[in-house]
Structure 1
Amino acid sequence: MFFNSLSFAIFLPIVFVLYWFVFNKTKSTQNALLIVASYYFYSCWDWRFLFLLVFSTFLDYYTGIRIEKAKTETGRKFWFWLSISINLGFLGVFKYYNFFADSFSELLNGFGLQTSPLLLNVVLPVGISFYTFHGLSYVIDIYLKRIKAEYNFVDYSLFVSYFPLLVAGPIERATHLLPQVKLKRNFDYQKAKEGIYQFIWGLVKKVVIADTCATYANAIFDNYESMNSLSLLLGAVYFAFQIYGDFSGYSDMALGMSKLFGIDLLRNFNYPYFSRDIAEFWRRWHISLSSWFRDYLYIPLGGSSGGMAMKIRNTFVIFLVSGFWHGANWTFIAWGFINALYFLPLLLLKKNRSNMETVSLYWNWNSFKVILSMISTFSLTCLAWVFFRAKSIGDAFDYIGRIFTNQRFLPQYLENERYNYEIVLLTGIFVVVEWNSRTQVEPISGRYSSLKLALCIAAIVALGTYSDYKEFIYFQF
């Protein structure tokens, strides 16, 4: 059940009406309804994997209490590592086993030892990377005595399985979400209105921008050997806007629909393509994941407290693990490694904490340099996205190599496909809207909100009617 599907358009209003008009008497009834709705929502993907979600929920709930009640440090460590091991074990089996088996087999074949790896014929449970990280952060925080264990199983279950964020985040923290689910929510018209606007804008990003760009990005990447340099550049840019519209659109829809139920989720994107360096980009892209790795991996490894060698090591560890988190393919690891290389000069020059404020432009020389820095950062990001999108590292290098060797910048692809010039114009308009909205939560509110809402809905209907591309990219992670 996709957020942009007809079935979800029926599901969400039903849950909303039941939540506010039938199960609104107490916090417990509100939470119970949301859990039932969340489990139904998840079962629509594959009901067989409900047991994984329920087991993961019970495991972290129980071990969290056992860690808190343990009388000795040995007992605390036992329950802590039991939870960590089982959680990562499930993630490893379902997401990474075949990758490691294949890679090890290829390594042995390289030494002349012919092997046939035993592979698992399993489907990756949707959202497993996200709800596993919810539970991990909860257990780690209890072990480090940052929070108390939650004894109400219903409340904890909702924290893990809350359907707006269940399959693709944002990755919530117990310190932020649990206090909200432990209180009865009262209907707030203004918050609900903001939620509708934010949901609609997220749907625009997904249906109008991401799905449209996906059609052209897929066509170029799938036939890149026959494309000239301009077409290959367009393909990289199209994918950059596809993945941004797809993932940030999902996050906006998740945050928006959650406001309908009186719950605030963590902001996951903050206009990353207007970043002036790669460090700023990572402070603005997939914020919940970046901050998760910072708090639970980078800082425990020593963070920035040691010498430069330690800082470099920790930086590469974070980016490589982040790449591997996205998928079991060497392309994702290469993508993480490339971003670490991008980050390295800023770290060495101690400029990785520059550009903390919201970008602004004026009619002066400094603004011209800011524009150049944004363009260069976006260009580097697009090159890295090629590795993220390519089927193999070899394909990625070949794709990028052809950009510089196919020295033809004629509008080959623009002329071969219908509406390609219009898509370039549409993407340009989207950039302008994003720029003008960078100090807001979403661009529909404010003056002429009704007109802007009508235009957004018209665009969704007009382009969504003819779109066959429904899936969200991050559902595979």
Structure 2
Amino acid sequence: MLFSSMVFLFLFLPVVLMLYYASPRKVRNLILFVFSLVFYAWGEPIYVFLMIASTIVAYITGLLADKTKQGRKPWVPKVSLIVAILWNMGLLLFFKYTNFFIENANNIFGLSIEKMGLVMPIGISFYSFQTLSYVIDVYRGDVKAQKNYLTLGTYVALFPQLIAGPIVRYKDVAEQMAKRKETISNFAQGVHRFAIGLGKKVILANSIGALFDAISNAPQDQMSVTAAWMGIIAYTFQIYFDFSGYSDMAIGLGKMFGFDFLENFNYPYISNSITEFWRRWHMSLSSWFRDYVYIPLGGNRKGKVRQCVNIMIVWFLTGFWHGANWNFMIWGVYFGVILLCEKLFLLNALKKIPKFIGHIYALILIVIGWGIFAFDDFGKLSQNFKNMFGLSGIDFVNHQTLVWFAGYAVTFVILIFTSTPLIRKIGEKLKKAVPAVYSCVLQPLMVMAILLISTAYLAGNSFNPFLYFRF
């Protein structure tokens, strides 16, 4: 089920909210758990049992991983942690990468092994990381093991963030799972945040995504250097508004039910370096790899050479996490190399030049990075880069390019402004200047306008999956 669907907006969510707030507090987790399973089973009727199994494994290994329990043999927590790692990583490798390994083995060794008819369970990359981080945190002593299966099950299956994040760690919501206070103010903030996210996805991401689809599928004789860059810039905006829109909706839904999820995006396209970009983009994933891979590997504590190796390991794994295609690994290594260069010498140089030059530098590298990320077909990937850098004999600009630009010029202007904090700052100033008018008139009107426009868009296009669903 999609957040940006009529069924979710006008059936599922209203029913859940009514039942949730009509019920006593002691059964609200049960309601969330049951309806979260329904939400997942709507699109994955079989794999919902896999998620339940993962929760059971996390529950048992979490209880056994607690090193503080008296009378427990010292090897039990370690074995439990290993079991949790093997289970979660095994699931990811099996469902997400089996066919990838088979295909590459066939190509390299001339084999003819048939691919398995596997369909990757939606959200497996996210809930596997969540359950694994829970067991690791219990083992480290950062959080107490949850003895109530329903509470842990609600955390894992919680539908607002189940499918595409943000990656919510148990230690960040442990208290909220047991005790949370739902307020009218938080609910209103949640509706506002959800509407913003819905608008990002339906109005902005889907609109500019249509341009990327048109350019990426256009015949070569219609292409130009400018069009190739325009297409990847369109994708750059599409993936940001698509994914940050989902995160906004998840955070907003969380607030409606009394939860405070951590932010996942912080205007990444205003960055002046790639280091800054990755502190602003998909922050829950970046912090997960930092805390559970980079630091355990030694981080920056064992010398420069070891630090460089650790950075490259983390970024290869980051690319690998995104998908079973070589373009994702190349994308991860690409950013890993840039981050290494910035760590070793580039950041110092960037501090000495005007910020706008650093901003241009970062944007060019970000757009090129999305050019690698966008195409899992190597033929299309190489052809697009040839087009972007004028290596395929096409014109710099042509009539078709001007047609595309004319049709989307206003959209690009809107996307540029909405990818910066400008609109938020204007809202904050209005809130300070005329608080009553802003809260009682302007904000509700804006929310209603976004919801109405989004609904109109959805009425004409019922299927619009999020890009990060495939990861």
TM-score normalized with structure 2 length: 0.91
What is the aligned residue count?
A: 455
Distance 1:474 1:209 in 2: 16
Distance 2:295 2:194 in 1: 34
User: Can you list the C-alpha shifts for 1:165-224, whole angstroms capped at 9, x where unaligned?
Assistant: 0110111111111210111x4431111111111111101110111111111111212236
Distance 1:374 1:6 in 2: 39
RMSD: 2.4
- Decide which of 258, 271, 292 is 2:254's aligned counterpart: 258
Q: CA deviation at 1:242?
A: 0.7
1:410 maps onto 2:404 in alignment: no
User: Can you list the C-alpha shifts for 1:60-81, whole angstroms capped at 9, x where unaligned?
Assistant: 1011111225722222211111
Distance 2:7 2:20 in 1: 18
1:3 maps onto 2:7 in alignment: no
- Decide which of 139, 142, 150 is 2:146's aligned counterpart: 150
Distance 2:298 2:345 in 1: 19
Q: CA deviation at 1:437?
A: 4.2
Distance 1:208 1:354, change over 3 A: same
Aligned twin of 1:122 = 118
User: Can you list the C-alpha shifts for 1:38-70, whole angstroms capped at 9, x where unaligned?
Assistant: 000000012101110100000010111112257
Distance 1:141 1:403, change over 3 A: same
- Structure 1 range deviating more: 336-345 or 253-262: 336-345
Q: CA deviation at 1:460?
A: 2.1
Distance 1:166 1:142 in 2: 21
Distance 1:351 1:470, change over 3 A: same
Distance 1:2 1:92, change over 3 A: same
**Residues 56 and 132, structure 1, Cα contact 8 Å, conserved in 2:** yes
**Residues 273 and 347, structure 2, Cα contact 8 Å, conserved in 1:** no
Distance 1:12 1:173, change over 3 A: same
Aligned twin of 1:215 = 210
Paired residues for 1:154-303 under 5 Å: 154-183=150-179, 185-223=180-218, 225-226=220-221, 227-303=223-299
- Structure 1 range deviating more: 437-446 or 11-20: 437-446
Distance 1:239 1:224 in 2: 18
Q: CA deviation at 1:88?
A: 1.1
The 3-state SS of whatever aligns with 2:347 is coil
Distance 2:326 2:31 in 1: 41
Paired residues for 1:435-450 under 5 Å: 435-437=420-422, 446=431, 447=438, 448-450=442-444
**Residues 244 and 264, structure 2, Cα contact 8 Å, conserved in 1:** yes
- One-letter amino acid of the counterpart of residue 202, structure 2: V
1:452 maps onto 2:446 in alignment: yes
- Decide which of 427, 433, 443 is 2:418's aligned counterpart: 433
User: Can you list the C-alpha shifts for 1:108-158, whole angstroms capped at 9, x where unaligned?
Assistant: 13xxxxx11232101110000100000000111111222211101111111
**Residues 434 and 443, structure 1, Cα contact 8 Å, conserved in 2:** no
Distance 2:139 2:196 in 1: 39
**Residues 5 and 462, structure 2, Cα contact 8 Å, conserved in 1:** no
Aligned twin of 1:112 = none
Aligned twin of 1:90 = 91
- Decide which of 355, 366, 380 is 2:365's aligned counterpart: 380
Aligned twin of 1:360 = none
**Residues 279 and 352, structure 1, Cα contact 8 Å, conserved in 2:** no
**Residues 228 and 412, structure 1, Cα contact 8 Å, conserved in 2:** no
Distance 1:459 1:352, change over 3 A: farther
Q: Where does structure 1 lack aligned partners over 5 or more consecutive residues?
A: 110-114, 356-364
- One-letter amino acid of the counterpart of residue 402, structure 1: N
**Residues 197 and 444, structure 1, Cα contact 8 Å, conserved in 2:** no
**Residues 437 and 443, structure 1, Cα contact 8 Å, conserved in 2:** no
**Residues 212 and 467, structure 1, Cα contact 8 Å, conserved in 2:** no
Distance 1:39 1:80 in 2: 26
The 3-state SS of whatever aligns with 1:283 is helix
Paired residues for 1:294-443 under 5 Å: 294-349=290-345, 351=347, 369-405=354-390, 406=393, 408-410=395-397, 412-417=399-404, 420-437=405-422
- One-letter amino acid of the counterpart of residue 7, structure 1: V
Distance 1:19 1:96, change over 3 A: same
The 3-state SS of whatever aligns with 1:428 is helix
1:33 maps onto 2:31 in alignment: yes
1:67 maps onto 2:61 in alignment: no
Distance 1:432 1:142 in 2: 43
Q: Where does structure 2 lack aligned partners over 5 or more consecutive residues?
A: 432-437
Distance 1:233 1:459 in 2: 29
Distance 1:394 1:267, change over 3 A: same
Distance 1:394 1:334, change over 3 A: farther
1:471 maps onto 2:465 in alignment: yes
Distance 2:294 2:227 in 1: 39
The 3-state SS of whatever aligns with 2:324 is coil
Distance 2:303 2:382 in 1: 34
Distance 2:244 2:318 in 1: 18
The 3-state SS of whatever aligns with 2:116 is coil
Q: CA deviation at 1:440?
A: 6.5
User: Can you list the C-alpha shifts for 1:408-444, whole angstroms capped at 9, x where unaligned?
Assistant: 3325334445xx5342312312322342448669989
